[in-house]
């Protein structure tokens, strides 16, 4: 189909992980720019399209899995994308300690399967890899930049380091336009309920509405550089529009503790966090990432990218959305 504004054929993007938080925002972002969007989805026993329900009819789907090479090759052959965004992963750090092999197969080797498919089917495809600030782990410098050494602290972090370097390697070995976004934590009302920000915003909403009285959390001292997912997908796209592929740190440059997040979230509904939060050892990790804060100056200079939502706006957006959801004012997360 042609783009009605330019007359040239619409660009086509394939997104893996389209049912996830980032996949849903990226699909929206690309559709708004006139792209044809294909989402790779894996088979499950129930439909899990909640985050993209509002985009149904505008996205094509391809059944595939990062664990299955042939399904990836077939997705590229059938849909001939110009850009591939590899967002699929086993993305929860805590789960990676319990399922390290699955995490490695998906989050590490899955990237090689994607890159090999690109190399074999059409090496002119532009490829984005969802790398992570978890790669910095036990940080060697503050703030973290594109050249900060990696020291991952979980099987997830280790898998992401592999995914990052195999992307660099395929770029250097085969000349692919492949790049890697080292994204710091980004959140939204569509964040999975197990991640700490959404666990807090949802827990706060339940307590505010009298549906719960306490919120059990782990390490309150951990600090993260939290931004808004809707901003971060714009950075992914900008990376693929560069003439030369390059890797970027994407962050806000501000860091806050889990405790500060609690404080702000409970304050939004007029409650005192200390009366409701209970620390539970069950949520501590075998090895922790204590402090993440990025330096996003390279992305600002070369991509013209800057975050638009600050910490307090993010917390309030998430709490308000969860209160609305539980009150039945929001039907879904889209
Ligand atoms: P998410 O909400 O957990 O979504 C993960 C997606 O991957 C889901 O669509 C999931 O499908 C899919 N997936 C999992 N295993 C798969 C497999 N074997 N084959 C095909 N698809 C599979 O994650 P997110 O927050 O959107 O993050 C997107 C990417 O960015 C991930 O790679 C994550 O590691 C990375 N990242 C995230 C952040 C962040 O703060 N959000 C920061 C840095 C990097 P189902 O719906 O079927 O489970
Ligand atoms: N999930 C969770 N649940 N985390 C808790 C809890 C709790 O009850 N209590 C404290 N925390 C602390 C964790 O120990 C961690 O230090 C911090 O909150 C953030 O945890 P998560 O929200 O689970 O995110 P993450 O930082 O481990 O990983 C996320 O960000 C990475 C980028 O740095 C994920 O989105 C990864 O996929 C992503 O790569």
Per-residue model confidence as pLDDT tens digits over 295-322: 999 999 999 999 999 999 999 999 999 9
Res 5: pLDDT: 56
pLDDT in the model for residue 8: 77
Whether 186 lines ligand 1, by a CB cut-off of 6 Å, is yes
Q: Are strands 223-224 and 256-257 parallel, antiparallel or unpaired?
A: antiparallel
pTM of the model: 0.97
Same domain, 173 and 213: no
Percent over 90 (pLDDT), the chain = 95
User: Measured in angstroms, how far is the CA atom of residue 255 from the centroid of ligand 2?
Assistant: 14
Mutate which of 214, 218, 282 for ligand 2 pocket (most atoms within 8 A of beta carbon) = 218
Non-local CB neighbours of 184 within 8 Å, separated by 6+ positions: 133, 224, 225, 226, 227, 249, 250, 251, 252, 292, 293, 294
Q: Are residues 207 and 152 in the same domain?
A: no
Count of positions (residues) in the chain: 334
Quick one: 231 and 283 in the same domain?
no
Q: Looking at the predicted structure, is the pLDDT value of residue 1 above 70?
A: no
Q: pLDDT over 70 for what percent of the chain?
A: 97
Q: Any residues with Cβ below 6 Å from ligand 2, and which?
A: 91, 93-94, 132-134, 184-185, 194-197, 199, 217-219, 222, 224, 258, 283, 285, 288-289, 292
Give me the long-range contacts of 308-314 (CB less than 8 A, separation at least 24): 308/228, 308/231, 309/227, 309/228, 309/230, 309/231, 310/252, 310/254, 311/226, 311/252, 311/254, 311/256, 311/264, 312/264, 313/228, 314/187, 314/197, 314/226, 314/227, 314/228
Instruction: Report whether pLDDT(2) > 60.
Output: no
pLDDT tier for residue 204 given thresholds of 50, 70 and 90: very high
Domain extent, residue 264, equals 196-224+255-290+311-333
User: With bands split at pLDDT 50, 70 and 90, how would you rate the model's confidence at 9?
Assistant: confident
Whether residues 85 and 100 fall in one domain:
yes
State the pLDDT at residue 47: 87
Q: What would the mean pLDDT of 159-176 be, rounded to a whole number? A: 98
Residue 2 within any structural domain of the chain? no
Are residue 279 and residue 133 in the same domain, yes or no?
Answer: no
Ligand closest in space to the Cα of 129: 1
Q: Is residue 306 part of a domain?
A: no
Among 92, 110, 185, 257, name the best residue to mutate to test ligand 2's pocket (greatest count of ligand atoms within 8 A of Cβ). 185
Same domain, 279 and 316: yes
52 CA to centre of ligand 2 in angstroms: 24
| 136 pLDDT higher than 70 | yes
d(CA 129, CA 144): 19
Examine the domain organization and report whether 246 and 259 are in the same domain.
no
Question: Using one digit for the tens of pLDDT, what is the confidence trace for 271-296?
Answer: 999 999 999 999 999 999 999 999 99
Is 126 found in the same domain as 205?
no
Q: Which residue has the higher pLDDT, 331 or 65?
A: 65
Q: Is residue 6 part of a domain?
A: no
Over residues 26-54, the mean pLDDT reads 96
- What is the chain's mean pLDDT, rounded? 96
Q: Which residues pair with 249 in a beta bridge?
A: 182
Q: How many domains does the chain have?
A: 2
Are 244 and 263 found together in one domain?
no
The reply to whether 178 and 219 lie within a common domain is no
> In this structure, is residue 300 part of a structural domain?
no
Question: Which pair of tokens denotes residue 141?
Answer: 């410098």
Band the pLDDT of 332: cuts 50, 70, 90: low
Rounded average pLDDT over 70-99: 98
Mean pLDDT on 167-179:
98
Each residue's pLDDT tens digit, 215-254: 999 999 999 999 999 999 999 999 999 999 999 999 999 9
Q: Are residues 246 and 317 in the same domain?
A: no
Residue 298 lies in a domain: no
Specify if 7 maps to a domain: no
In-domain check, residue 27: yes
């Amino acid at each position: 189909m042609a783009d009605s504004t330019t007359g040239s054929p619409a660009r086509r993007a394939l997104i893996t992980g389209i049912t996830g938080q980032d996949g849903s925002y990226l699909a929206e972002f690309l559709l708004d720019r006139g792209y044809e969007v294909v989402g790779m989805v894996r088979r499950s026993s129930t439909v899990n399209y909640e985050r993209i329900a509002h985009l149904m009819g505008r996205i094509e789907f391809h059944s595939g899995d990062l664990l299955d090479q042939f399904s990836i090759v077939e997705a590229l052959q059938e849909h001939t994308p110009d850009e591939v965004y590899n967002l699929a992963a086993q993305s929860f750090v805590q789960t990676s300690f319990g399922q390290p092999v699955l995490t490695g197969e998906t989050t590490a080797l899955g990237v090689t399967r994607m890159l090999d498919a690109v190399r074999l089917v059409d090496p002119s495809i532009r490829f984005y890899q969802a790398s992570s600030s978890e790669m910095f782990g036990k940080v060697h410098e503050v703030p973290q930049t594109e050249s900060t050494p990696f020291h991952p602290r979980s099987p997830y972090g280790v898998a992401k380091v592999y995914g990052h370097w195999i992307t660099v390697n395929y770029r250097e070995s085969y000349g692919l336009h492949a790049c890697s976004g080292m994204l710091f934590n980004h959140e939204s009302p569509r964040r999975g309920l197990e991640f700490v920000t959404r666990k807090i915003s949802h827990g706060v909403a339940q307590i505010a509405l009298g549906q719960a009285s306490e919120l059990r959390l782990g390490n309150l001292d951990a600090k993260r550089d939290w931004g808004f997912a809707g901003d971060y997908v714009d950075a992914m796209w900008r990376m693929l529009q560069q003439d030369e592929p390059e890797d970027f740190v994407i962050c806000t440059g501000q860091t806050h503790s889990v405790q500060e997040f609690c404080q702000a979230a409970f304050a939004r509904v007029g409650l005192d966090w200390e009366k409701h939060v209970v620390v539970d050892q069950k949520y501590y990790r075998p090895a922790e990432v204590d402090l993440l804060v990025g330096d996003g100056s390279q992305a600002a200079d070369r991509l013209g990218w800057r975050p638009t939502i600050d910490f307090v706006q993010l917390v309030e957006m998430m709490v308000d959305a969860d209160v609305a959801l539980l009150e039945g004012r929001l039907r879904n997360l889209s």
